[in-house]
Amino acid sequence: MTQLHHLDAVAQASALRSREVSSVELVQHHLDRIDRHADDLGAFITVTAELALEKAAEADRHLAAGTAPAFAGVPTAFKDLTPTAGTPTSMGSVFLREFDPPANAHVVDLMQQTGFISLGKTNTPEFGLSSYTDNDLVGPARTPWDTSRNAGGSSGGAAAAVAAGLIPLAQGSDGGGSIRIPASACGIFGFKPSRGRVSAGPLGSDWSGLAGDGPLARSVRDAAALLDAIAHPMPGDVRPLPDPPVPYSQWVDRPPGPMRIARWSATHLEGIAPGPDAIAAWESASALLESLGHEVIDIANPFPQALEPQFNVIWSSGIAAAALPPDADALLRPNTRYWRERGRAASAVDLSRALQFLELTTRQVISDLQSYDAFLTPTLALPPQPVEWFNESGDPATDHHRELLFTPYTALYNMTGQPAASLPLHWSAENLPIGIMLATLPGQDGPLFSLSAQVEAAAPWYERRPPGFA
């Protein structure tokens, strides 16, 4: 018999509707796996077992009565940056260990309305600032493919939990790669939607246009189903996109047709280059796309290096403006203090100039790319790295440079607002997952799902599971 955690969320929902399994059984099965594996992975900051089982019993009653929504009784979890009323939302910080938000994020309400049941809050770095997941609450999140290596960040706990079968899918957020980075490091599918596709409200802010929520999943169809649940404009949104005319779940079943796919592997940063594993994954993906009838065209990296310092002004200004009391700095990690100090050094003129530079520069890049349908790069320049690699120097500036060595590609699509996905198409000789990144033009989330599903069908990854977590 197939193990329950081997089913993706769509299959779990089907099994629940046919009464092959109850939600209580399904939720308990995943809670048992969390008990067995979560400490080794650092996947969760908070587990809400009692509440989850109460919600599961309620889902079973609705399923029996025929009044259940599509994903009633299916387990999931929320990133600990995402406000969840009644459950601590620490944002990965000791300072906010007991913080109970006054309201849910819209994504929480929307997923619960679709029937998903949260098993808790997944691990994240302090305030989501880094491309690796570590904090002073529960420590690092680790990829289940090699638990000596970091799961990536900032949705590292979510990605590790999904990859190890602790939950079938999860919500993540992405302001500089924070969905796609851990998706690559954990060997799963991660999708960053177009800017404005998912509401940041009611408590979150999209002031910079960089960050947004999206799915982490083992199958493309699960990711599409989750985005269908949360991609709805809400009152007061600053950059709302309308409900898609065609559900993303339907795009998964649509052949994409021949596409012109531009590819590049060079980074936009001087002195930073992809390693051999990243190049091997990128070349293999290029050949696969060509075999599927797409035209793959080499172009120079269209993004200028001048974006990096301006991005850093915006990134640091956000955390510098966080409403924390003066004595909070003593409790913050060195990486967080580093970014707050950089942000405090920037003036309002610096921030305005940076925002305008990003807007004007990325507008030109998007204009120049209009003749292409999609874009292919490595997701990361390096494989998952040892846990200690990111901050062993003790110097946050050196640590930041190592993050650039690790992830020089992902933040560019946060600047442009394009949809982008990491696909687990390659494994290194050491059996470490190496993702490749596909993106489309802004607003073209549906075609990106079609292309991703076509690639998944041609080179299936779902049955490949990390040893020790099968």
DSSP label at 361?
H
Q: Which residue type occupies 458?
A: A
| Tokens of residue 95, six digits | 């300072």
The set of catalytic residues is 79, 154, 178
Give the CA angle between residues 403, 404, 408 to the nearest 5°.
Answer: 125
Residue 144: name the closest of 161, 167, 121, 130 by CA: 161
Diameter of the chain measured on Cα atoms: 63
Distance (Å, whole) CA 467 – CA 470 = 6
| Tokens of residue 321, six digits | 């403006």
Three-class DSSP category at 217: strand
Give the CA angle between residues 394, 400, 406 to the nearest 5°.
Answer: 115
Q: What is the dihedral of CA 324, 327, 331, 335, to 10 degrees?
A: 60
The radius of gyration of the chain's CA atoms, rounded to the nearest angstrom, is 21
Count CB atoms within 10 A of the CB of residue 109: 16
Number of helical H runs and strand E runs in the chain: 15, 11
Residue with tokens 């387990």: 75
What does the DSSP assignment read for 162-214? HHTTSSSEEEEEESSSTTHHHHHHHTSEEEEPPTTSS--TTT---TTS--EEE
Residue 120: name the closest of 216, 192, 179, 43 by CA: 43
Residue 215: name the closest of 107, 80, 109 by CA: 107
Which residues does residue 423 pair with via DSSP β-bridges, in sequence order? 436
| Tokens of residue 251, six digits | 């795009």
Query: 187-213 burial, b for 16+ CB within 10 Å, e for fewer?
Result: bbbbbbbbbbbbbbbbebebebbbbbb
Count CB atoms within 10 A of the CB of residue 366: 15
Alpha helices in 191-306 (DSSP H): 220-230, 248-251, 276-291
User: CB neighbours of 62 closer than 8 A, spacing ≥ 6?
Assistant: 68, 69, 72
